[in-house]
Amino acid sequence: MTDARPRIVVTRKVAEPAMELLRETGDVFSPDPDRALPPGELQAAVAGADGIVSTLQDRVDGALADAAGPQLKVVATVAVGYDNADVRALTDRGVVFTNTPGVLTDATADLAFGLLLAVTRRLGEGERLLRARQPWSFHLGFMLGTGLQGKTLGIVGLGQIGQAVARRALAFGMDIAYTGRRRAPDDVERQLHARHLPFDELLRTADVVSLHCPLTPETRHLIDARALDTMKRSAFLVNTTRGPVVDEPALADALAGGVIAGAGLDVFEREPDVHPRLLELDNVALAPHLGSATVETRTEMALLAARNVVSVLAGEGPITEVKA
């Protein structure tokens, strides 16, 4: 570090403890008002930055690094996924890129299971009925849902969040199957009583398919019309990873046509837009990207991002670096 205090740009408002930590290290700038900046404004905002704290709304690439200038040392995203970042372009410019793994695992797993309960037990549908002041009366056939005990949860991507969802499913008496690019360690399979299956076999046999794979060119529209048609007509889909992993129009068709029984979605292809047909269907539970949205989790995410920036600017290296 030079004698001058480094300039640190925080592109969107983050928890105050993280801001305080950054202020101890450098001069912190954050755009006001707090909003997602279009590329031109974002590039102007980061000019002269030694460190940047970014969010999923920001395109982090070579153009952003060039706009900041050759003194830029680190970009820390307040997220686990980094499909919005060109890590190779940053690395080629000598810029360290970091993310926030681990700290949002339980919050996202809780949300995934909440969506599953909401769609299988028709909680959103029931609440809408009451808020609309529709007449109702209890009887033994009223708004019957689907139980989870003895059903198979098929997890696509048995990473930290996938494993956390599996642990919750075990508590509900579910059986665990999973698929992914590689098998999980033997001890993880034993602890979760998890069976590894090829992707298509998992689709054919699972009662619930829960998505926890990263968004890559290979996983974009992984769940398309063919995949949905492979699933059981009684099956449910849960997506808390990235919206483009699912072909949204194909999912709307499948839900409307009874190809699958229902879905729980926290993420969407073109956020904040949601496919209008999904909004019209009762057999889908929807949430506005709330996976990590607890005070505790978002604070820890911001603190980890801030610690990464502070550590790199102090010459001590990153804590959770993403390699190109």
- Catalytic residue positions, numbered: 242, 271, 289
As a whole number of angstroms, the distance between CA 192 and CA 170 comes to 8
- Tell the burial category of 308 from Cβ atoms under 10 Å away from its Cβ (0-12, 13-18, 19+): buried
Could you give the count of Cα atoms lying within 13 Å of 242 in the half-sphere of its Cβ?
Answer: 20
Structure token digits, residue 169: 């499913």
> What's at 259, amino acid-wise?
V
Assess whether the previous peptide bond of 288 is cis (omega < 30° from 0): no
Peptide bond into 33 cis (omega under 30): yes
Measured between alpha carbons, how far is 257 from 284 in angstroms, rounded to an integer? 13
- Please provide the distance, in angstroms rounded to a whole number, between the alpha carbons at the two ends of the chain: 25
Residue whose token pair is 């030079």: 2
CA 140 to CA 194: how far, in whole Å?
35
Rounded-to-integer distance, Cα 178 and Cα 197, Å: 6
Distance of CA 17 to the CA centre of its chain: 23
On whether the CB atoms of residues 11 and 53 are closer than 8 A, the answer is: yes
Any idea what the Cα angle at residue 240 is, between residues 91 and 129, rounded to 5°? Answer: 150
